[in-house]
């Protein structure tokens, strides 16, 4: 048998919800997702199983998490993960779709999209957003892009993932830190924390809520998020429970005592990679090199406290020139693309 039929699995196929409380099934789910994420990406490091599952099980009033297994008979060959934002961006389903490399081109991905479209409609959502990762030189014709477009998605934004090999020369950090300080001194102070003091949580959350709206995201617009100090506290507990360290550098406006800029690094347990999460300077406090200042402060703290970390990864849209220029100065270099695809559904 040749061609398409040879690629088709002849047995029973099914897509069924995964009970997040089912330890054995969650462990199989993790194995499939990890195999997909590392496929053709030798640089990728999966977070450890317990922390990945802990994150998925986290209960947050601001979003709910949903999983489905894609089955060939008794073999789990793929996973759909979906998040429903509940207090902002309530038009959207955020989705990840992973089909095991040994079971592709059998229609699983397409059936998974039908499942997620049904789920979106059942929850009154009109937009599905998802991301992929592939090499920079395959921007136009990578199979994941072809798959997405075949299934009614549009490329809405492309981020470049960059990697910084550690340690950064302390002299470079000192030079960049000093240059920034000269621009903000007297008006702001910059501090790096492993745990941000509670008094700063409200203004920190306000900054965090602007990341999606203020960073360029191409055709995919986001409403401000609605993270509250209470929900932030829940994430602090999640970090403790999963063994993740979160380093947060902030710039505080001396006049108001409020956080007006922040940058977060996440350090998953057991692996040696750190991930850059959000960085933002509030619009009314830009132009004082606070972006560089908080990034440098966090890297200094990372290198002092966690010298075992080998590298940091970060992602930015190409038109985010300000952030890209800071990252290039720090030594981040291109690693791969992270395109975002979206599909809009007519309201029913």
Ligand X SMILES: CC(C)(COP(=O)(O)OP(=O)(O)OC[C@H]1O[C@@H](n2cnc3c(N)ncnc32)[C@H](O)[C@@H]1OP(=O)(O)O)[C@@H](O)C(=O)NCCC(=O)NCCS
Q: Which stretch binds ligand X (CB under 6 A): 97-105, 182-190, 282-290, 304-312?
A: 97-105
User: What is the Cα–Cα distance from 13 to 116, expressed in whole angstroms?
Assistant: 16
Per CB under 6 A, 146 contacts ligand X: yes
Residue 33 Cβ vs ligand X, minimum distance, rounded to whole Å: 9
User: What is the Cα–Cα distance from 1 to 4, expressed in whole angstroms?
Assistant: 9
Per CB under 6 A, 135 contacts ligand X: no
Q: Contact at 8 Å (CB) between 294 and 327? A: no
Judged by CB under 6 A, the residue of 33, 47, 80, 108 near ligand X is 108
By C-alpha distance, which of 143, 46, 137, 96 is closest to 337?
A: 137
Per CB under 6 A, 107 contacts ligand X: yes
Q: Which stretch binds ligand X (CB under 6 A): 98-106, 159-167, 187-195, 206-214?
A: 98-106
Per CB under 6 A, 132 contacts ligand X: yes
Q: Contact at 8 Å (CB) between 60 and 238? A: no
Q: Contact at 8 Å (CB) between 317 and 156? A: no
Judged by CB under 6 A, the residue of 72, 98, 214, 336 near ligand X is 98
Contacting ligand X within 281-310 (CB under 6 A)? none
Give 82-97 as a DSSP string. Answer: EEEESSS-TTEEEEEE
Residue 106 Cβ vs ligand X, minimum distance, rounded to whole Å: 5
Per CB under 6 A, 333 contacts ligand X: no
User: What is the Cα–Cα distance from 128 to 220, expressed in whole angstroms?
Assistant: 10
Residue 159 Cβ vs ligand X, minimum distance, rounded to whole Å: 14
Using the minimum distance from each CB to ligand X, give the nearer residue, 25 or 38: 38
User: Which sign, positive or negative, has the C-alpha torsion 210, 212, 216, 221?
Assistant: negative
Only one residue has tokens 């059998």, namely 106
Residue 322 Cβ vs ligand X, minimum distance, rounded to whole Å: 28
Q: Which stretch binds ligand X (CB under 6 A): 19-27, 45-53, 143-151, 207-215?
A: 143-151
Q: Contact at 8 Å (CB) between 14 and 78? A: no
Helix%, strand%, coil% for the chain, nearest 5: 40, 30, 30
Per CB under 6 A, 275 contacts ligand X: no
Residue 241 Cβ vs ligand X, minimum distance, rounded to whole Å: 28
Using the minimum distance from each CB to ligand X, give the nearer residue, 14 or 59: 14
By C-alpha distance, which of 49, 54, 67 is closest to 238?
A: 54
Per CB under 6 A, 106 contacts ligand X: yes
Using the minimum distance from each CB to ligand X, give the nearer residue, 113 or 205: 113
Per CB under 6 A, 130 contacts ligand X: yes
Per CB under 6 A, 337 contacts ligand X: no
Per CB under 6 A, 148 contacts ligand X: yes
CA distances from 41 to 45, 122, 259, 282, 337 (A): 9, 35, 37, 35, 11
Judged by CB under 6 A, the residue of 58, 104, 121, 286 near ligand X is 104
Contacting ligand X within 35-64 (CB under 6 A)? 36
End-to-end CA distance of the chain: 42
Using the minimum distance from each CB to ligand X, give the nearer residue, 30 or 184: 30
User: What is the Cα–Cα distance from 319 to 314, expressed in whole angstroms?
Assistant: 15
- Quote the distance between the C-alpha of residue 149 and its chain's center: 22
Using the minimum distance from each CB to ligand X, give the nearer residue, 3 or 287: 3
At 185, is the secondary structure helix, strand, or coil? coil
Residues that bind ligand X (CB under 6 A): 36, 97-99, 104-110, 130, 132, 143-144, 146-148, 150, 341
């Amino acid at each position: 048998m040749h061609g398409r039929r040879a690629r088709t699995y002849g047995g029973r196929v099914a897509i069924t919800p995964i009970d997040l409380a089912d330890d054995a099934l969650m462990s199989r789910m993790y194995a499939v997702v990890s195999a997909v994420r590392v496929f053709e990406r030798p640089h990728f490091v999966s977070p450890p199983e317990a922390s990945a599952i802990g994150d998925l099980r986290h209960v947050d009033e601001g979003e709910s998490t949903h999983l489905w297994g894609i089955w060939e008979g008794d073999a789990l060959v793929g996973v759909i993960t979906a998040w429903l934002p509940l207090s902002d961006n309530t038009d959207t389903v955020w989705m990840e779709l992973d089909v095991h490399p040994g079971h592709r081109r059998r229609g699983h991905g397409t059936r998974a999209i039908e499942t997620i479209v049904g789920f979106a409609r059942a929850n009154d959502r009109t937009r599905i957003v998802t991301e992929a990762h592939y090499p920079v030189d395959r921007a136009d014709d990578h199979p994941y892009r072809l798959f997405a477009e075949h299934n009614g998605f549009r490329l809405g934004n492309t981020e470049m993932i960059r990697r910084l090999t550690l340690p950064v020369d302390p002299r470079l950090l000192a030079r960049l830190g000093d240059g920034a300080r000269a621009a903000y001194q007297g008006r702001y102070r910059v501090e790096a924390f492993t745990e941000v003091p509670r008094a700063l949580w409200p203004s920190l959350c306000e900054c965090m809520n602007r990341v999606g709206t203020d960073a360029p995201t191409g055709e995919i617009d986001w409403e401000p998020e609605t993270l509250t100090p209470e929900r932030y506290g829940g994430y602090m507990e999640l970090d403790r429970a999963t063994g993740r360290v979160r380093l947060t550098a902030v710039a505080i406006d001396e006049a108001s005592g409020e956080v007006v800029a922040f940058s977060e690094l996440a350090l998953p347990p057991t692996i040696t990679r750190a991930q850059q999460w959000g960085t933002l300077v509030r619009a009314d406090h830009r132009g004082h090199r606070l972006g560089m200042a908080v990034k440098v402060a966090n890297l200094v703290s990372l290198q002092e406290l966690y010298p075992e970390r080998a590298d940091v990864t970060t992602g930015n849209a190409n038109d985010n020139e300000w952030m890209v220029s800071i990252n290039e100065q720090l030594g981040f270099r291109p690693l791969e693309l992270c395109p975002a695809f979206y599909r809009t559904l007519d309201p029913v």
